[in-house]
Structure 1
Amino acid sequence: MRGIWKWIGLAGVAGVVAGGVLVARDQRKRNSYTPDDIRARLHQRLAESGPAQ
């Protein structure tokens, strides 16, 4: 029974590490945008949303 808890703990640690990697990758992707890129994307999303009601 002790062995099962050991494997569950190791699986949990692996999940936390994998989650940290995904967060770091997402953060690098967000940091790669320039202010002009962000502004252009916001203007594009506003135009796609249609007229204000």
Structure 2
Amino acid sequence: MRGIWKWVGLAGVAGVVAGGVLVARDQRRRNAYTPEDIRARLHQRVAEAKD
């Protein structure tokens, strides 16, 4: 029975680590945009929405 809880704990830790990796990757992607890039993308979305 003890071995089961060990594996459940390890799976939980692996899940938390995987989630942290995904959050860090997303944050890096967001930080890569310059204000001009963001502004251009917003203007493009508005133009597409008006069509």
Specify if TM > 0.5: yes
TM-score for the superposition, normalised by structure 1: 0.88
1:2 and 1:50 map into 2 onto residues whose CA distance is: 61
2:4 aligned partner = 4
Structure 2 gap ranges (5+): none
Q: Percent identity?
A: 84
> Which segments of 5 or more consecutive residues in structure 1 lack a partner in the other structure?
none
**4+ residue stretches of structure 1 with deviation over 6 A?**
none
In the alignment of these two chains, the number of paired residues is: 51
Aligned-pair Cα RMSD in Å: 1.0
In proportion to residue count, which structure has more helix? Answer: 2
* TM-fit CA distance, 1:47: 1.0
SS at match of 1:43: helix
Q: Does 1:21 align with 2:21?
A: yes
